Structure 1
Amino acid sequence: MKRKGLIVVFTGEGKGKTTAALGMALRAAGHNLDVGIFQFIKGSWHYGEMESIKRLPGVEMYRLGEGFTWKKEDTGRDAELAREGWKKARKAIMDGRYDMVILDEINYVFHHGFLDPVEVCDVLKNRPPQLHVVLTGNHAPQEIIDIADLVTEMRMIKHHYVDQQIKAQRGIEF
């Protein structure tokens, strides 16, 4: 059976996209693989997984955005941060430093028009052949789906916040 770097996409309205990607980072770290995690949206929020990742050798996280800020009138800063973040992620993809690169919430960046998925596809098609790349977020564009080796759509069936108005909780949502 042949071995090659895979493109993996976790998308959809349901919960668990970033969690699935971070599970892959945990698995990779267990095999002494180096992982770069590039978070495009999360910004300054504090997440429990950040503390865990600090303890994993070979796993590095880069926070590239300022949070879920596209709801404001002027999204120019968000677009600028997305482009700057993509430059960092693109360099990491092409320089061979990592065995796995996670582009967390990049699909939101595409959806809001801050990055061109065709440009990202071109980089992914020309990446080092053994590099695994994981992309997360709602609204995965068709261009990304078309080049992916694995696409999983998370579908919300029931959610405690929506259905019961139970607020986000430590260890579950963050």
Structure 2
Amino acid sequence: MDERDLDARHAEKMRKKKEARDKILATKTIEKGLIVVHTGKGKGKSTAAFGMVMRAVGHGMKVGVVQFIKGRIETGEKRVLDRFADLVTVRRMGEGFTWETQDRQRDIAAATGAWEMAKEMIRSGEYRMVLLDELNIVLRYDYIDLEDVVAFLRDEKPEDVHVIITGRNAKDELIEIADLVTEMTQVKHPFRSGVKPQAGIEF
């Protein structure tokens, strides 16, 4: 079989694949705001979420970001998003990871304030997408009530608003109501080989 035969066979295979794909796409007619969860031990949960934020901004959508843990550290994504202040509102409500504050009541107060801000953004009608960065962490430590979060997202979230939630150890109840759940699996990480967190990669 020569190159022309291989090219022709490939073209026919791709034609059939496109035809099958087009049939499947024709059955997908629902458009709505999604609940998206990025969880798992692997790196990339917030990174992927901020990629979705960039994509939404590229479509001219207004986006709200509430960071439940990160607050004190200056991040690359914050510097970029500050350049799109007409489309993106970032609220850094955290005070660092729980092992840094070592103060449960302070962490609960910060998480509660962040959740109130998140609900306000989601309800406002101003934002097409709201990212709740590291919400899973505060839920893991019971800093805010899981049932309240699930009930709000299930019953009060406007139909057209996308909500993205990040962090390890997503609760089963949150996964149950989500439309899209991705689990990042860690295969290899430089931290385990003595490499410190680096600008542009971790923050």
Matched, 1:156 2:186: yes
- The answer (yes or no) to whether the contact 1:70–1:78 under 8 Å persists in 2 is no
Query: Which structure shows the bigger proportion of residues in helix conformation?
Result: 2
Percent of aligned pairs sharing the same letter:
47
Which stretches in structure 1 are left out of the alignment for 5+ residues?
none
- What's the RMSD between the two structures over aligned residues? 1.1
Task: Find the partner of 1:64 among 84, 87, 93.
Answer: 93
Alignment of 1:1-174 (within 5 A): 1-56=29-84, 57-70=86-99, 73-125=102-154, 126-162=156-192, 164-174=193-203
Larger Rg: 2
**Shift of the alpha carbon at 1:2?**
1.4
Deviations 1:97-116 (A, max 9, x none): 10000000000000001011
Which stretches in structure 2 are left out of the alignment for 5+ residues?
1-28
The residue identity in structure 1 corresponding to 2:179 is D
TM-score under structure 2 length normalisation? 0.82
The residue identity in structure 2 corresponding to 1:105 is E
TM-score under structure 1 length normalisation? 0.96
Q: CA 1:72–1:84 in 2, change beyond 3 Å: closer, same or farther?
A: closer
Q: Show structure 1 runs of 4+ deviating over 2 A.
A: 69-74
Equivalents in 2 of 1:72, 1:63: separation in Å? 16
Count of aligned pairs between the two proteins? 173
**Shift of the alpha carbon at 1:72?**
5.3
Aligned partner of residue 102 in structure 1, secondary structure? strand
**Shift of the alpha carbon at 1:145?**
0.2
Equivalents in 2 of 1:49, 1:83: separation in Å? 24
Equivalents in 1 of 2:196, 2:101: separation in Å? 23
Equivalents in 2 of 1:132, 1:72: separation in Å? 31
2:21 corresponds in structure 1 to: none
